[in-house]
């Protein structure tokens, strides 16, 4: 087991332990936000034939030489092609067909004139322009050709993909399975949110924040409940989570007399890969795996609510995203300008919870206040995690800093652009 390692090394040890999960077939709508496991090839050409981009008249361009509003050319309207219809015969000299958007251009026609450039006159039409060749004609296959790879594996499915799949006649897709995450809370002082929180008891809020983080990362979660601070009870609850893909426990992973997570994990066959990462909040984090036989990847996160969330964000989140098939698994990092002085000791990387504001082309970062790992409020206010590097001891106001962006709404607008 490695101990006292840096964040980057811990992250790569975690990510080395996982691959994208196998695929399952779901409806296209259920697949939104999930990752395509196979490539999608088209069995269709779209549009299937040359078709009109406008409501108007299909014409033979050569019949309209020199047509202008002052000197229109008159053609005989010999039939109508509605969307979904077909011209009954080729157009010949002096003939036009009434045509609607999306309808196939009849044989013999080589252009479409917009209705706005015409004037109907009984069974004839006066055309006031000389169109370009194939004007307002959508080419067969201009969207998709049969045999094209339309969607590549790894695509994160969105609304455009849903429409494309539907137009290819596909309502089911193969996507990577969602990781299953089991969540355990450990501690004699803990109660469920609807329990009696008097007399020094503490709500096991981590079960909620961590489940919410897991869901945001595309997982399905189960709550294993609260384990008491005995090795026996902890083992009982841990065993209930062994069929998950990832088991996340919080608390009891430090060096106190009641911290049984590490020995119990080893007892049930989980090999610890590391314990202790040089970061704050969250030094006492353990990561382990079952190497002989099946079993979940296991995280023993610290109990303090902010430490639990920040360590989840740094290590569990990218792992879950990778398991779900995603390739972009890390938070965007933006440059921001610090608006206060920060100081710390050398040795551990600090993730400072910051609120962000945009000022012209700069982003300003200010601490959310009390940075204690028990102050969950710092996570409700934070839009980013400022990276205060391990060996840096002070950052002065006005300095440029790196911030992991937590809040996807940060650049969204309340006013129309
Ligand atoms: P421990 O790691 O067991 O020393 O716990 C550190 C702190 O986190 C203690 O104040 C615990 O009460 C608190 N804590 C432990 N587990 C949870 C939890 N599931 N939800 C909220 N707070 C917790
Ligand atoms: Mg405890």
Of 32, 36, 39, 40, whose CA–CA distance to 24 is shortest? 36
pLDDT at 253: 81
pLDDT at 189: 96
- pLDDT reading at 293 higher than 90: no
pLDDT at 257: 84
Q: Is residue 190 within 8 Å of 202, Cβ to Cβ?
A: yes
User: From CA 60, how far away is CA 111, in angstroms rounded?
Assistant: 6
pLDDT at 102: 96
Q: Is residue 299 within 8 Å of 287, Cβ to Cβ?
A: yes
pLDDT at 15: 98
Distance between Cα 305 and ligand 1 center (Å): 7
Give the other-Cβ count within 10 Å of 220's Cβ.
Answer: 14
Name the phi and psi angles at 191, rounded to 5: -135, 160
pLDDT at 265: 94
- Which atom of ligand 1 sits closest to the CA of residue 229? 3
Signed CA dihedral, 126, 129, 133, 135: sign only: negative
Of 67-76, 236-245, 250-259, minimum mean pLDDT range = 250-259
pLDDT at 239: 97
Pocket test for ligand 1, best of 250, 262, 282, 374 (most atoms within 8 A of CB): 250
| Alpha helical stretches, state H, 107-241 | 159-167, 206-216, 231-240
pLDDT at 254: 83
Query: Per residue in 295-344, pLDDT tens?
Result: 999 999 999 999 999 999 999 999 999 999 999 999 999 999 999 999 99
Q: Which ligand is nearest to the CA of 230?
A: 2
* Distance between start and end Cα atoms, the chain: 53
Residue whose Cα lies nearest atom 5 of ligand 1: it is: 303
Of 23, 33, 296, whose CA–CA distance to 177 is shortest? 23
As beta bridge partners, residue 97 has: 58, 79
pLDDT at 256: 83
Of 126-130, 250-254, 291-295, minimum mean pLDDT range = 250-254
Say which DSSP state 36 is in. B
pLDDT at 258: 81
- pLDDT reading at 350 higher than 90: yes
Name the phi and psi angles at 121, rounded to 5: -145, 85
Name the phi and psi angles at 224, rounded to 5: -80, -10
Q: Which ligand is nearest to the CA of 255?
A: 1
Protein residues whose CB sits closer than 6 Å to any atom of ligand 1: 185, 187, 189-190, 202, 204-207, 250-252, 254, 256, 302-305
- pLDDT reading at 252 higher than 90: no
Residue whose Cα lies nearest atom 15 of ligand 1: it is: 303
Q: Is residue 406 within 8 Å of 312, Cβ to Cβ?
A: no
Query: Per residue in 104-119, pLDDT tens?
Result: 999 999 999 999 999 9
Sequence-distant (6+) residues with CB within 8 A of 34 are 26, 156, 157, 175, 176, 178, 218, 324, 325
pLDDT band at residue 255, thresholds of 50, 70 and 90? confident
DSSP secondary structure string, 90-131?
A: ---TTEEEEE-TTPBPPTT--EEEEGGGEEEETTEEEE---P
- pLDDT reading at 92 higher than 90: yes
Query: Per residue in 178-219, pLDDT tens?
Result: 999 999 999 999 999 999 999 999 999 999 999 999 999 999
- Which atom of ligand 1 sits closest to the CA of residue 252? 3
Residue whose Cα lies nearest atom 14 of ligand 1: it is: 303
Tokens of 342: 């920060």
User: What is the percentage of the chain residues whose pLDDT exceeds 70?
Assistant: 100
| Alpha helical stretches, state H, 351-395 | 377-381
pLDDT band at residue 68, thresholds of 50, 70 and 90? very high
- pLDDT reading at 365 higher than 90: yes
The whole-model pTM stands at: 0.95
pLDDT at 156: 98
Distance between Cα 341 and ligand 1 center (Å): 30
Of 292, 134, 258, 100, whose CA–CA distance to 189 is shortest? 258
């Amino acid at each position: 087991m490695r101990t006292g390692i840096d964040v980057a090394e811990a992250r790569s040890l975690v990510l080395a332990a996982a691959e994208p999960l196998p695929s399952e077939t779901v409806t296209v709508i259920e697949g939104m936000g999930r990752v395509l496991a196979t490539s999608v090839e088209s069995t269709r050409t779209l549009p299937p034939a040359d078709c009109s981009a406008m409501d108007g008249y299909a014409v033979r361009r050569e019949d309209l030489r020199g047509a202008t509003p002052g000197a229109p050319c008159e053609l005989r309207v010999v039939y109508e092609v509605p969307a979904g219809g077909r011209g009954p015969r080729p157009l010949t000299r002096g003939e036009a067909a009434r045509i609607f958007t999306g309808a196939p251009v009849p044989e013999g026609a080589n252009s479409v004139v917009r209705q706005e450039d015409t004037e109907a006159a009984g069974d004839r039409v006066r055309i006031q322009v000389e169109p370009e060749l194939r004007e307002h004609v959508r080419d067969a296959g201009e969207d998709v050709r049969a045999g094209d790879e339309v969607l590549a594996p790894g695509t994160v499915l969105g609304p455009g993909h849903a429409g494309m799949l539907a137009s290819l006649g596909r309502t089911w897709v193969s996507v990577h399975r969602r990781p299953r995450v089991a969540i355990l809370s450990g501690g004699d002082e803990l109660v469920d949110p609807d329990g009696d929180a008097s007399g020094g008891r503490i709500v096991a809020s981590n079960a909620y924040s961590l489940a919410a983080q897991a869901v945001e990362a595309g997982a399905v979660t189960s709550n294993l409940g609260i384990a008491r601070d005995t090795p026996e009870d902890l083992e009982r609850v841990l065993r209930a989570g062994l069929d998950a893909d990832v088991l996340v426990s919080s608390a009891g992973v430090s060096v106190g007399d009641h911290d049984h997570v590490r020995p119990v994990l080893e007892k049930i066959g989980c090999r610890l890969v590391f314990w202790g990462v040089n970061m704050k909040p969250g030094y006492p984090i353990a990561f382990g795996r079952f190497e002989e036989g099946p079993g979940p990847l296991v995280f023993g996160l610290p109990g303090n609510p902010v430490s639990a969330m920040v360590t989840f964000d740094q290590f569990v989140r990218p792992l879950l995203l990778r398991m779900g098939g995603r390739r972009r698994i890390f938070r965007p990092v933006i440059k921001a300008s610090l608006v206060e002085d920060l100081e710390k000791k050398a040795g551990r990387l600090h993730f400072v919870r910051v609120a962000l504001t945009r000022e012209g082309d700069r982003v300003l970062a200010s601490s959310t206040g009390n940075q204690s790992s028990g102050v969950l409020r710092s996570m409700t206010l934070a839009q980013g995690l400022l990276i205060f590097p391990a060996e840096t001891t002070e950052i002065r106001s006005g300095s440029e800093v790196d911030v992991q962006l937590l809040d996807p709404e940060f650049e969204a607008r309340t006013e129309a652009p």
